[in-house]
A and B are shown apart, each in its own frame.
Chain A
Amino acid sequence: MYYSFSELVSPLLFYLFAFITLAAALLVVLARNIFHCALFLILSLFGVAALFITLDAEFIAAVQVLVYIGAIAVLIVFAIMLTGRIADPLVRQTTRAYILGAFVGALILFVLIYALMSITPLSPYTPETTANGSPTYTLGELLMTKYLLPFEVVSILLVAALVGAIILARGDKKASDVQEGKR
């Protein structure tokens, strides 16, 4: 069976994005310098966003870039810088039981792949040329009708998490006064 060029492009793009995602994720776990780990995490999240686009989920990909890369990754970089000497590449970053950890990871992967191979093969995606309405429109409609309550609950959760984070990160007032007094 022969494939035309356009039929080859989308699988090749999928493999390219999958490779970027997985290679960057592997480097997040393996890299020695923690700051490099954060940068590889950003690359991996970009790869996941690209995979979302290949799944016809453009809005989710945009949310991924905005929330994960724009907010979470920046927060992580901030946390790395605020926690001082951990960014030092000389500090040992792995536990002593790293062989055991890698073994458990490989075991979970084996179990998951084995479960996937034991089910009937899933049918490939059918390209949809005529879609009624854009997926983003449908998603917005769902969020405002069927999933309105979870949507509001998630908003409250986000506000509560923000308030809690501010209280936690602000720290002890007395301790900070003492520190300032010392200076």
Chain B
Amino acid sequence: MTIRTILATGIFGLGALLAACSSDDSRTPAASGDALYVRLGKADGIETVVADFLERVKADAKINGYFLNASVDQAHLSACLVKQIGEATGGPEKYDCKSMADAHSNLGISRQDFDDLVGHLSDALVAAKVEQKDVDTILGVLGPMAADIVRDETNDATVYQRLGRKPAIQAVVTDFHSRVMADAAINSFFATTDANRLATCLVRQVCMATGGPCKYGDEIPDAEPGVKSACRTMKDAHTGLNVAYADFQELVTDLVAALDAANVPADDKNAILGVLAPMCPDIVEKDACQ
């Protein structure tokens, strides 16, 4: 996924708004000319809304996987959003970032991702004291554009979506971590590890492995708990430690137990473990993985 593509993910909702505005002048925010742009507070007001919107999105584990990757140029993302809203609401800004049409084809954005993002835009507009009729106008033209953006209308195209996105993965990882720490056979490997960093890296690993938007190894320093630097590859993290295959098996057993406890369906469990199990050779050195 390119930086531009990830960037475009963040602005898909507002891109749809732009598209809507340019396609039907009789009912779009642009139709009210400078009025809406002025009512939003012009560039300064829009920048405030965008900043708040991005904070809300990045704090929402359901969708922040699209944004919390170091390869996303946050400043560029913010600038594009301001341009987009400015132009869409009749301001002088010119949107010159990547077109929305091309941006979303490979992201697997689900209906619930889209709805959550729209919800945060709505909240940011309301928080900026934008009148409800203007919020409704903006959101009213946004909704129909989902067809151009959403690639997973039923929220089940990937294991990531079926599991329940990052919050569900976080719950599984929390359970998994507690099982490992209670497992006398292997807990010493993790006893002195930064629990927050371990959890964040595990969540990102499973998120990516299940078809989610997280990019393991592409972490933004301090954006997520415990992560001051990028999560290391399995090989880097375990080189020289001579971890035994039996220990790896024990770890997998704890993960299976956590997935079972979360009632993850067999096919999805197989998909997750099918991605993680081949990492065995990067972790185990003492014995060859069988």
A and B held together in a complex: no
| Chain B residues at the A interface, C-beta cutoff of 8 Å | none
